Structure 1
Amino acid sequence: MSYFYLPKIYPPITIDNIQIKYGNQLTHDCYLDNLNTLKQDIKQYKGNEIVKKLLSPYNLLHKIIKDESISFNQLLFIEIFNLSKINIQSSMTSIHFSHIDNDIISALKMIRKNDEDKYYSSNQVVTSIMKKREKDISILNKQFYNHIKEKFKNTFDLITIMDCDYYDNKMNNIYILNVILGIYILKLESDIIFKIPNLYEQHNIELLYFVSNYFEKTVIIRPNINNYLQNYKYICCKRLSNTINKDFIKYICDSFYNFYTKNDKNLKLTSFLKNNVPTTFISKIEECNSITAQTLLDNYCYLHNICKFNEKNNCNDKISEINEKNKQKCINWCITNSIEYNEL
């Protein structure tokens, strides 16, 4: 598990500092080149997919936990909510923007155990306004966007946004609009958690800087149960400031909505802040990227070495040793997250 607190930097962003810019996005993490080379090398070894599963520490959780009906996604969000220190005292109203919203809601129910809680899913809202079930309705649907904005201002105690791979017709990722709209419909002193595609593109860094201005704490989380060979990160924003100007947030929402819905295919988002992000903030992002990228590369190198060794030798003993260690990791995870497990 990785846990990074982002600094809160003053003064806060104002309307004068907002300018959506477009062009070519050239920046990328150099570790991706090495990672892609490793991935290609691993594919040449027989049985690499089997070895990959054996080396992933938490693939054994379903053999460890007592309740086999709990999905892996539910377990993931149980850990995320525990790491985020979700308030379990008073009742709450929450909304969840995700294609796995049922798993998220189930995880929240397991942690909070509060019958007075109210849960909304984006699919549920779509169904209520469209009067029929619709699939893959994004926030760019005008009716859906306006309904969310007009009906739910200052409504929710918790918002989760876990779909960060929806795009406009110019291949711009529209999750930024979801996050900023989420802030608009969030109550003061409340929390929002979202999944971020990466931490090297400029507009993603700017989004983190933007949200950190309006929350008491902003934390980058990489859960233990996260895929061993992927670098997903989740952003937990705690306690929305009571000094926030919601009209300003609405203005930014509408600006992004108008940008995403334009038909000009040359409008590739690069940034949306006029001023540079402060160096102290960039340094924290780079620290996070450096640590998590190195961990990911180490995991792939280890996988590569095991696959290579397995090609020439019988490494059943080594795999069994890894398997036993993974069982203990799963048990420790269950203890930490209050999940009943089978004694092995």
Structure 2
Amino acid sequence: MSYYLLPHISSTLDSSDIHIELDDKLLNNVCKTTHKYLSTLKREIESHTDKWDIYKKFTNTYEYIHTQIPSLKQSVSKYKPVSRAYFKFVEIANLFDIIPDNRFSISSFHLCEGPGGFIEAICHLRNNSNDKFYGMTLIGEDDNIPGWKKNPKLLKNNPKIHIEYGEDNTGNIISYINYLHTVNKFKNTMNIITGDGGFDFSSNFNNQENMSSKLILAQILYAISIQAYKGHFILKIFDIFFKSTIEFIYILNMFYDKVYIFKPQTSRLANSEKYIVCKSFKFTTTEQYKNTFSTIIKTLESSQEKADQKYISGILNTKMPIFYVTRIEEISNVLCQFQINVIQNTISLIKYQKNDLNKKVEEMIKNNITKCIQWCIKNNIGYNKYTSKNSISIDYLQTSQL
């Protein structure tokens, strides 16, 4: 996939420039036509929920790097990490040269990290016994919360990994006391930071951007507060239609030398997930923002406790340059058009009525396996070999059921 370098921003952020606004009624600010059409398609996905989770794998080119190939019971990658996030980090790290030379020890912090795919990847990419990797994620009994339960062996057997629970032992980053605890303990010391927070959006694909806005902002504030000079930050976001999201990215542009928008090949093509890759942090200290950031976290925490269904409508008192907003809009339109094409192809496959459905899908899978192998070679991942003798059967698909 392509990546997009955003315009360089030379101005700096003053604490007085930041003021959080919450609202329960938001209008999208950019890509209005694209947003409307994509929203219509996402609603159509909801009418095919019984089949979508099956068919989306066939139209996702790099699905079988991690997912088992039908009838073969193994994936292309020989290594089976805790989640597909492992491969996303490997891809991002290789493309953007995120991992420093092993001669120098590093510290990394992984926000909203459960079940641990990013931290697992950095463990394998690094070879320095003095490294320290910190992970923080929400602790809870809810199965929808991706805690540490899936990866006990990695955590137990790796002395470089440290789990951070915060002041209240919940791992909740939208917490005033946890923010202060983390900043006081780690301020401006982390070479690499990741923020991979998300929710289960399967019941409401169209509200991903707003539902995730508080979590995304919290991750940004933590990162700016604990990032080391010249360090890097990788942040997961979703759609880019609202002013708040553009302002989040703009703020990052003021703190890092280079900021990219990137859709990894290992991120499912039909979803809105994308990553902001921030390189080379400009500051040696961000102590001057601590009071302002902690006040914002307190506002987010209060809103969360009230369950008030309000979203972030804005975070800046100052206007962004028109050229910057225009560039974001251009990038968002390009990424959305690609996403729209994949969703349309998947829905068309679900509706396919001809008797050669199985053969059609089997050919798609074979082509995708070839591309998955190429990805593994490019990213130094060991892979299982397949030949024409390997039979791929998906006879469980029947046109009569569609």
> Is TM > 0.5 for Structure 1 vs Structure 2?
yes
Return closer, same or farther for 1:49/1:19 CA change in 2, 3 Å cut-off.
closer
Q: Report the TM-score when normalising by structure 2.
A: 0.75
Q: How many residues align?
A: 335
**What is residue 69 of structure 2 aligned with on the other side?**
none
**Secondary structure of 1:271's aligned partner:** strand
Tell whether 2:38 aligns with 1:35: yes
Query: For structure 2, which runs of at least 5 residues remain unmatched after alignment?
Result: 67-74, 138-162, 201-207, 387-402
Taking only aligned residues, the RMSD between alpha carbons, in angstroms, comes to 2.8
Asked which structure has the greater RCO (Cα within 8 Å, sep 6+), the reply is 1
> What aligned pairs does 1:42-191 form with structure 2 within 5 A after superposition?
43=47, 47=51, 49-62=53-66, 63-68=75-80, 71-89=83-101, 90-100=104-114, 102-123=116-137, 124-126=163-165, 129-130=167-168, 134-135=169-170, 137-165=171-199, 173-191=214-232
Tell whether 2:300 aligns with 1:276: no
Q: Distance in 2 between matches of 1:140 and 1:290?
A: 31
1:98–1:122 contact (8 Å) kept in structure 2? yes
1:45–1:308 contact (8 Å) kept in structure 2? no
Alpha-carbon shift at residue 267 of structure 1 (Å): 6.3
Return closer, same or farther for 1:75/1:174 CA change in 2, 3 Å cut-off.
closer
Q: Distance in 2 between matches of 1:216 and 1:156?
A: 17
1:165–1:175 contact (8 Å) kept in structure 2? no
Q: Distance in 2 between matches of 1:261 and 1:318?
A: 50
**Secondary structure of 1:55's aligned partner:** coil
Q: Distance in 2 between matches of 1:70 and 1:176?
A: 26
Percentage identity across paired residues of the two chains: 26
* Cα distance per residue 1:168-211 (max 9 Å; x no partner): xx996233122122111111111111112332221111111111
**Higher helix residue share:** 1
What letter matches 1:248 in structure 2? Q
**Secondary structure of 1:220's aligned partner:** strand
What letter matches 2:172 in structure 1? S
Q: Report the TM-score when normalising by structure 1.
A: 0.87
Return closer, same or farther for 1:80/1:171 CA change in 2, 3 Å cut-off.
closer
2:81–2:120 contact (8 Å) kept in structure 1? no
Return closer, same or farther for 1:25/1:248 CA change in 2, 3 Å cut-off.
farther
Alpha-carbon shift at residue 266 of structure 1 (Å): 8.6
Q: Distance in 2 between matches of 1:334 and 1:254?
A: 42
Q: Which stretch of structure 1 is more off in the superposition, 291-300 or 91-100?
A: 91-100
Out of 351, 355, 371, which is 1:308 matched to?
A: 351
Return closer, same or farther for 1:267/1:55 CA change in 2, 3 Å cut-off.
closer
Out of 196, 201, 206, which is 2:242 matched to?
A: 201
**What is residue 261 of structure 2 aligned with on the other side?**
220
Tell whether 2:304 aligns with 1:292: no
